[in-house]
Structure 1
Amino acid sequence: MTTNRTEMSRLEGETPAQRLLALLEVIAGKDQFFTLQGMVEETGLPKPTLHRMLQQLESSGMLQREADGRHYSKGNRLRRLAENLLLHDTVHGARHAVLSELVEEVGESCNITALSGGEVLYLDRVETSAPLRFYLHPGSRVPVHCSASGKLFLAQMAPAQRKRLLDQTPLKAFTPNTLTDRAALEAEIETVRDNGYAFDDEEFLPGLLCIAVLAPHPEGPSNVGLAIQAPVMRMTREKALACLPALQRAAQAIADISWDAVPEAEELATADH
């Protein structure tokens, strides 16, 4: 059996704990019992290493051994973890509902983003039902300098903080429209700061236009962006700006949901400062 390189890449991590979590993620996606040898063939990990990892998961209750002693299955603790996550993740559900309503209103794909290091991370996404669309699933990462949300995150940074980040971020050209000159990018960031919204005009993917705003934070900088993305054959800058009020309403709704999820003690501590 050939090694599944996709699964191997999912088991990569800088620490043993990260690799153990990656293995658990692979196991969570299975709908059958599995054996040690089967996982060795699937992941390409050395048998002693994988055996030790499975023992750790079994001893913690995340996995259990079946009656034959050879097969493993998901443990009760892992099931409880999944049930509790689904039961209590109302913040994600509420924000996803706002995202879905925005897609229904504007007719194009929309996503929620956050800044993660020097990249923009897709936290959630709802696709349009239109036949022509770009697929960028939650968990996708795009460079900060050619993302509409990324420009907004850069625009709210202090100059020294932005310089520190961009000094370590190659301004790679993904399309002819990508801003690869620091002076040009700084000028764009200044415009974004003045406008309160940003465009990605075919700067990351050819044929894709994006407009984004930040979900406002009552105490300062925000790390939540909201964006509309569409093919340029359906969306111009003018049409995108016509969607801006709907985008801003959705961003405020997401900000309200996020702030409401902050424990009261933290709200009081923030207010005292």
Structure 2
Amino acid sequence: MNSVPDDIARIDGDTPTMRLLALLEVIAARSEVFSLQTLVEETGVPKPTLHRMLQQLESAGMLQREGDGRHYSTGVRLRRLAEQLLLNDTRHGARHAVLRQLVAEVGESCNITALSGSEVLYLDRVETPAPLRFYLHPGSRVPVHCSASGKLFLAQMGTAQRRRLLANVPLESYTPHTLTDFDRLEAELERVKAQGYALDEEEFLPGLRCIAVLVGTSGRSNMGVAIQAPSMRMDGAKALQYLPALQRAAAALAAVESPQPGEARESA
């Protein structure tokens, strides 16, 4: 029997539905748009078979065709599924406890975020007890280019991937501080990548400052944790004073997200 080369992604399954799910796993691991030919080379599945599978996923809203008609990307239905899994995950209670502890430590509103398309999605949030605050609830979405968490997610990408993501998303100006020039944004993202944290210096809402870090240090992450506060209470120096507490919270959240030994045995 012929062996499967190491660089071939296996599309296994006892039924057509299971093979479609296996193909979705391969697609979900990709960070770029892809073509039929790319997947043929990656999976070894015959081109007619793979074309039929992609058509089925496209018609179900799991994938969408790009403007050139040759490339595919994740569809709205698949992205919404991923969002709902994150929002309703059984680990939500543990994540929320970490967030409450962070708010108790720094005294300001804190949130957990994820990248959703070209926006940042709030997975969870705990508000400060202080009377002056900006209210944003779980499920809220903010622009990726002018939020601290969004900068972190963008900084993980290569320049070409960022340009594709932002190609159809104008760098809209929300305040006089919003970065609306791609080259200036690129320079900012290089700083974010080097320093390991990002700031929103009143770039989305006037009077609101934010500092954020990613959850997890190995590989790419699609979860961030952030502190938000009115600029009159948190200037740039104060935001950096909160960085150690923020990093401790990120480490605690990473531990929550890591599979526990008992879970590994149960799934085996």
Partner amino acid, structure 2, of 1:186: E
Tell me how large the CA RMSD over aligned residues is: 2.2
Equivalent in the alignment of 2:127: 127
Query: How much does 1:90 deviate?
Result: 4.1
Partner of 2:105: 105
Q: Give the Cα–Cα distance (whole angstroms) in 2 for the partners of residues 93 and 228 of structure 1.
A: 19
After superposition, the Cα gap between the structure-2 partners of 1:125 and 1:159, relative to the gap in structure 1 and judged at 3 Å, is same
Determine which structure has more spread, i.e. the larger CA radius of gyration: 1
Give the 5 Å matches for 1:16-27.
none
Is residue 139 of structure 1 aligned with residue 139 of structure 2? Answer: yes
Distance 2:158 2:255 in 1: 25
SS of 1:260's equivalent? coil
> Kindly tell me: are residues 164 and 89 of structure 1, through their superposed partners in 2, closer, same or farther at Cα, counting changes over 3 Å?
closer
- The residue matched to 2:238 in structure 1 has which SS? helix
Summarize the Cα distance change of 1:96–1:145 in structure 2 as closer, same or farther, 3 Å threshold. Answer: same
In structure 1, the residue corresponding to 2:91 is in which secondary structure?
A: helix
Corresponding residue for residue 237 of structure 1: 236
- The letter for the 2-side match of 1:163 is R
Within a 5 Å distance, the mapping from 1:1-273 to structure 2 comes to 90-218=90-218, 220-260=219-259, 264=264
- Structure 1 contact 215–222 (Cα < 8 Å) conserved: yes
Q: CA deviation at 1:133?
A: 0.2
Instruction: State the Cα distance separating 1:260 from its structure 2 match.
Output: 2.4
Q: 2:223 is aligned with what amino acid?
A: V
Shift of 1:264: 2.7
Answer yes or no: is the 8 Å Cα contact 1:109–1:127 preserved in 2. yes
In structure 2, how many angstroms separate the alpha carbons of the residues matched to 1:156 and 1:237?
A: 23
Q: Secondary structure at the match of 1:235?
A: coil
Change in CA separation of 1:196 and 1:89 when aligned onto 2, cut-off 3 Å: closer
Cα separation, 1, equivalents of 2:189 and 2:221: 16
Gapped regions of structure 2 (runs ≥ 5): 1-84
The runs of 5 or more residues in structure 1 that have no matched partner are: 1-84, 269-273
Residue 120 of structure 1 aligns to a residue in which SS? strand
C-alpha distance in 1, partners of 2:237/2:196? 16
Once residues 131 and 261 of structure 1 are traced to their aligned partners in structure 2, the CA distance between those partners, rounded to angstroms, is 39
TM-score normalised by structure 2 residue count: 0.64
Alpha-carbon distance in 1 for matches of 2:192, 2:96: 26
Q: Supply the distance in 1 between the matched residues of 2:101 and 2:143 (Cα, whole angstroms).
A: 27
Contact 1:91/1:261 (<8 A) preserved: no
| SS at 2:222 equivalent | coil
> Shift of the alpha carbon at 1:230?
0.1
SS at match of 1:209: strand
Q: Which amino acid aligns with 2:141?
A: R
Dislocated runs of 4+, deviation >3 Å? none
Give the SS at the match of 2:179. coil
Cα distance, 1:261 vs structure 2: 6.1
Deviation digits for residues 23-71 of structure 1 (CA, Å, limit 9, x no counterpart) = xxxxxxxxxxxxxxxxxxxxxxxxxxxxxxxxxxxxxxxxxxxxxxxxx
Aligned position for 1:76: none
The CA distance in 2 between the partners of 1:187 and 1:116, in whole Å, is: 23
* CA displacement 1:89-132 (0-9 Å, x = unmatched): 54100000000000000000000000000000000000000000
Structure 2 Cα separation of the partners of residues 230 and 260 of structure 1:
33
CA distance in 2 between counterparts of 1:261 and 1:149 reads 27
Identical counterparts, % of pairs: 69
Letter paired with 1:216: G
* Cα distance in 1 between the residues matched to 2:153 and 2:192: 10
- The 1:208–1:261 alpha-carbon spacing in structure 2 relative to 1, beyond 3 Å, is farther
SS of equivalent to 2:172: coil
Q: State the alpha-carbon separation in 2 of the partners of residues 212 and 99 from structure 1.
A: 13
Question: What is the deviation of 1:217?
Answer: 4.9
Q: Which has the higher helix share?
A: 1
Equivalent residue, structure 1, for 2:22: none
